[in-house]
Amino acid sequence: MNINRASVVFFDIGDTLGTATVAHPDFHLERIEIYAYIPNILQQLTESGIKIGIISNTGNETAASMKRVLVAADIYHFFQPELLIYSSVVGFNKPSPEIFRIAATAANQTTKPQHCLFVGEDGKERKAARNSGFQVVPHPILVGDVLNGNRLRYIRVSVTAAQSELAWRAAIRDLAVVPLYVTGEHGDRVYAIATTTAITQLDDLGFGVARLGSEGDPLTTEVYLLRDDRQTSTGFLNPQGQSSRFFVNDQESQWVLASSPEGMFIALPGDRSIEEYHFEDAYHGHNLKLLPDLSLLEPFGEGNNARTAGFVQAAIVEPALSDVEVTKFKTITLDAIRGYLDRYAGVKPLDGATGTKINSRHIQSSEIGLVTAALAKDLETIGGGKFTIQLNRFVHEGRELDNVAAELKGSESSEIVLVTAHLDSTAASSHTPSDYDPDRDPAPGADDDASGVAAVLAIATVIQQLATIKPPKRTIRFVLFNGEEHGLVGSQAYAKSQAAIAAPIVGVYQMDMVGYNVNPPRSFEVHVGYAAAANVQKRSLVLAKRLKRLVSVLSPNLQSPQIYTQPDPAEGRSDHASFHQRGYAACVTSEDFFAGPLPTSPTAEPNPNYHREGDTFVDFDYAADIARLVGAAAWLTANL
């Protein structure tokens, strides 16, 4: 690194230097798992004479507790003590401009804050830093190039079918390019942030490179894929799309980077919320936040994900449940589902001690912290001392949010099975975007996705009981993702952190809306489709077929599941997609939401109150039927 400009560099911690894990029940910062490339970057900056500091929101941590965590992560020695700016110490949180003023003063750059550079992955925080006079960078690997005068731009890189068999991903990884999203029939298109130098190098290598937006856009914006499901359903040449509703004026029209059959890619300024852009007639996964993640360029089955390729294979003889296991899973009844769901849908008090009922699980609601705390407490109670409870913290739109996870250690293997759902809700379709107040307006989300949350908790209860008899061979984690409704944000943050440490995840069983069934037959869906990588889809199909084989044993009132491969209308549209993108086998189970997959399939029955205040009905018996199947499939996968 040949730095030719005197600078002070401040880093955010969570999602920038590594993954922050918050301990339950006192919610202190337990540890930071540093990304593998970070020590080398910090070392290069230090050797170049650059002073390094931190600007981070630190909850109730003290300077001493932060030092303990950074020392344990083996990076404390890189930082100047006077440049460690913790919100809990200085009294201001990002994105307040005051915390950046304090940082500039600590760096002796009060009158020249442009000599300071802030590195952070949250666009709202970068926008605030930029408004305070700082230089900003969205990802650590770009720091040296930006300090050397390089500019940043969004790009789309493409390869031809003939080129797709070559080692083109490795060539991109050698450049100052940060991938955001990999798509295309064979994963042959990459949306990314790149330096001006790297873009010309890609040109020289023969890649197809489309320059998107304007130079400098990545400094204070974040990219979203917005899917206009009304336009898709009405078809080509039918002018029913809604982009002109949102992106017609001079300012907002400049945010559009590209249009594609998938949807619109927009660069949303850090001071705006994706909540403002909720298309009508939206399906699952109506938007997707594109997070910077170097693991997206790892060839599936190689690199960070080398060990995942052999994890999930069809067994020579598929295992069967024992009589005891069948009996245990049959205790997941309508009452078990109702007991959890009523609390998280606001029907009954969330906490019996206070009698508080929640109004919404929206991430912008003041109640979201109560929800995550209650989920952590529930999992702790269910675990009876056998579960390790963790909150995995991430930042979105300047807000600190938590995924909630409980781990049951395997007895023979470090390999991991995930049982998941998303914990947040929205009722945006009940209002126009300008009239929706997420903190005030109800968003019960009984089906979406309190049904999935209740199913995870009921499954955890049974698996804990089975583990008392005999622990599972593989580790099982129950994970409830935050921020799904804003673009799969929580699951992407989680999957990104797992890929960064090459976590040996066997498979992911996701549940998203498993409670709506009014008209016969009692049909449901399992989605595994992933066009970008056939081997990921193949391994995911093993999970779905294992679940299918259990229907006659545990839930004979259900039809055999409708399994979607290609084309899959739910591809990329629920939290399982965050794991597909990083090479992990995953499936999502839901009610009969989509048409198909065969012409002879039953008529789809999507919930008419999807994303509305009226999402209050759940067929508890139907949800229990699905939960039994998912729980048993996960249990069998953990014991192969």
Residue 379 exposed, middle or buried by CB count within 10 Å (0-12, 13-18, 19+): buried
pLDDT at 620 over 60: yes
pLDDT at 228 over 90: no
pLDDT at 498 over 90: yes
* CATH code for the domain in which residue 452 is found: 3.40.630.10
CB 458 within 8 A of CB 330: no
> Is residue 90 one of the residues assigned to a domain?
yes
Q: What is the mean pLDDT of residues 436-440?
A: 93
CB 564 within 8 A of CB 525: yes
Chain mean pLDDT for the chain: 93
Say what the pLDDT of residue 249 is. 85
DSSP 184-243: STTS-EEEEEEEHHHHHHHHHHT-EEEEES-TTHHHHEEEEEEP-HHHHHH-TT-----H
Low-confidence winner among 160-174, 233-247, 380-394 (lowest mean pLDDT): 233-247
pLDDT at 50 over 90: yes
Q: What is the pLDDT of residues 357-371, one digit of tens each?
A: 999 999 999 999 999
CB 23 within 8 A of CB 6: no
Residues 601 and 506 in one domain: yes
Residues 81 and 134 in one domain: yes
Domain final residue, candidates 246, 270, 295? 295
Residues 479 and 520 in one domain: yes
Residues 378 and 269 in one domain: no
Say what the pLDDT of residue 311 is. 59
Residues 68 and 115 in one domain: yes
Say what the pLDDT of residue 469 is. 96
Q: What is the mean pLDDT of residues 125-144?
A: 97
> Is residue 147 one of the residues assigned to a domain?
no
Q: What is the mean pLDDT of residues 562-578?
A: 96
Q: How far apart are CA 448 and CA 507, in angstroms?
A: 22
> Is the N-terminal amide bond of 299 cis, ω within 30° of 0?
no
Q: What is the mean pLDDT of residues 599-604?
A: 94
Say what the pLDDT of residue 5 is. 61
Q: What angle do CA 53, 148, 271 make, to 5 degrees?
A: 60
pLDDT at 307 over 70: no
Residues 515 and 387 in one domain: yes
> Is residue 71 one of the residues assigned to a domain?
yes
Residues 483 and 602 in one domain: yes
Q: How far is CA 532 from CA 297, 551, 632, in A?
A: 12, 30, 29
Q: Which of the four pLDDT bands, split at 50, 70 and 90, describes residue 2?
A: very low
Query: Per the structure, how many domains does the chain have?
Result: 3
pLDDT at 374 over 90: yes
Q: Which of the four pLDDT bands, split at 50, 70 and 90, describes residue 426?
A: very high
> Is residue 300 one of the residues assigned to a domain?
no
> Is residue 101 one of the residues assigned to a domain?
yes
Domain final residue, candidates 141, 163, 178? 141
Residues 54 and 184 in one domain: no
Residues 404 and 541 in one domain: yes
| Residue 518, helix vs strand vs coil | coil
Residues 464 and 385 in one domain: yes
> Is residue 305 one of the residues assigned to a domain?
no
Q: How far apart are CA 559 and CA 521, in angstroms?
A: 7
Low-confidence winner among 18-32, 121-135, 304-318, 596-610 (lowest mean pLDDT): 304-318
Domain final residue, candidates 86, 112, 141? 141
The kind and range of the H/E element at 170 are helix 168-173
pLDDT at 1 over 70: no
> Is residue 146 one of the residues assigned to a domain?
no
Q: What is the pLDDT of residues 540-564, one digit of tens each?
A: 999 999 999 999 999 999 999 999 9
Say what the pLDDT of residue 247 is. 85
Residues 258 and 356 in one domain: no
pLDDT at 612 over 80: yes
Domain around 623: 311-638
Residues 364 and 270 in one domain: no
> Is residue 303 one of the residues assigned to a domain?
no
Q: What is the mean pLDDT of residues 260-274?
A: 94
Say what the pLDDT of residue 13 is. 97
